[in-house]
Amino acid sequence: MASEITYAEVKFKNESPAPVVKGPPETKKPEQHPQKCPLWLPWLISLLLLLVCIALVVVLLAVPFCHSSDQPSALQQQFSEWECDSAVPQGTDRGWMCCPKGWRRFQGSCYFLSPDTMSCAESAQNCTGMGSQLVVITSKAEQEFLSKQIKQSKEPKPENFYIGLFAEQEGQWQWVDKTPFNATAAFWRKEEPSPGDDENCTVIHVLEKALNNWNNVKPDKRHHRICEAAAVIV
């Protein structure tokens, strides 16, 4: 007799589950906080802005003529306060024409009408000491301008202003800067200049209503004066 084959279902209670593979532990990212600026930073920025403003003021006011020439003129060395406007001759690349404060500008020149009086020689020296010279009048327009200016002088109204016209010998008139004297472009009053070699200086007579208002006078007489210097272009 054939033997029976019995099948049995066997369960193993101690069967371990399949191993789980674990990865490396996650690293926790640090929390990002907004970075605070140092307390001194706004003060530093304010200080820098202040220094920039001061530098601009120095450039615009203290040394306004640094671009006018390599060497400052004698007039620039004598004055620290200036008045400027934008009337600049054509052909220049600069924007302002300046005269010392209190001086009067016409075209490319600055003029000083003195409130005090001096002799002829003292007047010439005074103008030179200010970096200028007694005025040299070379055109009708300039004569008209000066004649108008002297009539606007405050009271007591002066009678005469020295100009830069001299005679080393009688009848031989010359300008202080050696500009050739043009007798046809002179503005002598009627019957002037007076003959003689003792009246070898020239004044503009304020009370003369006509454009021809020059007198020759003795050099020791004390009169007002008109100084002239080239305007500074910046």
Residues 36-87: tens digit of each pLDDT: 667 767 778 888 888 887 776 554 444 444 444 446 778 988 898 999 988 6
Measuring CA to CA, which residue among 78, 87, 81, 94 is closest to residue 109? 87
Q: What is the pLDDT of residue 63?
A: 44
Please state, in angstroms and rounded to a whole number, the distance separating the CA atoms of residues 120 and 208: 20
- For the chain, the structural domain boundaries read 68-233
Instruction: Find out whether 233 and 88 touch, Cβ atoms under 8 Å.
Output: yes
Per-residue pLDDT at 102 exceeds 60: yes
Measuring CA to CA, which residue among 186, 97, 201, 99 is closest to residue 143? 186
Per-residue pLDDT at 228 exceeds 70: yes
Supply φ then ψ for residue 54, to 5 degrees: -65, -40
- Higher-scoring residue by pLDDT: 196, 119: 119
Q: How far is CA 56 from CA 68, 215, 224, 232, in A?
A: 18, 50, 40, 20
Model confidence pLDDT, tens digit, residues 153-181: 776 789 999 999 999 888 899 999 999 99
Measuring CA to CA, which residue among 144, 148, 176 is closest to residue 163? 176
Please state, in angstroms and rounded to a whole number, the distance separating the CA atoms of residues 84 and 92: 16
Per-residue pLDDT at 216 exceeds 80: yes
pTM attached to this predicted model: 0.69
For residue 156, what is the DSSP state? S
Please state, in angstroms and rounded to a whole number, the distance separating the CA atoms of residues 78 and 131: 7
Q: What is the pLDDT of residue 169?
A: 87
Q: What percent of the chain has pLDDT over 70?
A: 72
The dotted CATH code for 68-233 is: 3.10.100.10
